[in-house]
Amino acid sequence: MRACARNFPNRTPYIVHRTSKKISDFMYWVPLTQDDLAQVFNDTELASLRAKVQGGAVKDALGDMVAFVRQCVAQNRSNRLSADKSLLPRSLRGPALDILALRLLKAYALQVTEPRKLAAEKAAELLEDIAKGKRLVLDEQGELPEDPAATPGIVSPSPAYGNEGIGWYPTPTTPEEEL
């Protein structure tokens, strides 16, 4: 770790630290856990949901949502899925939680508000766009996949004369042969 210090007039000195942590340590694909539900539910909703839910129903719902998101990502063949089947793209965790929140509220007869419905509809539209190939998803290294059709290529016989591709190129003829 390297530290640099600077003094500015009339200010206290500050220290800048450079760490050895690489950006590649950032996870672009993450698991969907029960702790993530706190992003879409407030404390009272979480408490009432936990009171009504029996067994591993929430864990099953989380697994179903991960499978659904992975299916949408996989429908566009340009996207690359994570090898770990329990992970989904970090950028789709919020939309997945919006859809899951609506499903859980409906399943356990809790209050569904209009903003929740709109958020779930927008999330469903986003996943539909990804499935149709209108949007791409970052892979595990944080790179956008390259569409194979976007890379141009030329296919031609080689060499122009003397190949076995009869009919691809005209063969040179002499004036006597034309008669």
pLDDT tens digits along 6-62: 444 444 444 444 444 444 578 899 999 999 999 999 888 888 888 888 778 888 999
Handedness of CA 46, 50, 56, 57 (dihedral sign): negative
Of 93, 113, 90, which is closest to residue 102 (Cα–Cα)?
113
17 burial type by CB count under 10 A (0-12 exposed, 13-18 middle, 19+ buried): exposed
Domains in the chain and their CATH numbers? 27-145 (1.10.3230)
Residues 82, 79: Cα–Cα separation, whole Å: 10
User: Do 57 and 28 meet the contact criterion of CB atoms below 8 Å apart?
Assistant: no
- What is the pLDDT at residue 142? 84
- What is the pLDDT at residue 73? 93
Res. 161: pLDDT tops 70: no
Residues 23, 55: Cα–Cα separation, whole Å: 39
Strand partners, 31: 87
**Which one of 15-19, 45-49, 93-97, 153-157 scores highest in mean pLDDT?**
93-97
Residue 141 binned pLDDT confidence (cut-offs 50, 70, 90): confident
**Which one of 87-96, 136-145, 148-157, 165-174 scores highest in mean pLDDT?**
87-96
Res. 140: pLDDT tops 60: yes
- What is the pLDDT at residue 167? 58
Res. 71: pLDDT tops 90: yes
Q: What are the CA-CA distances from residue 53 to residues 36, 59, 94, 98, 106 (Å)?
A: 17, 10, 22, 18, 12
Tokens of 110: 């809790």
- What is the pLDDT at residue 87? 93
Res. 139: pLDDT tops 60: yes
Q: Average pLDDT of the chain?
A: 78
- What is the pLDDT at residue 160? 54
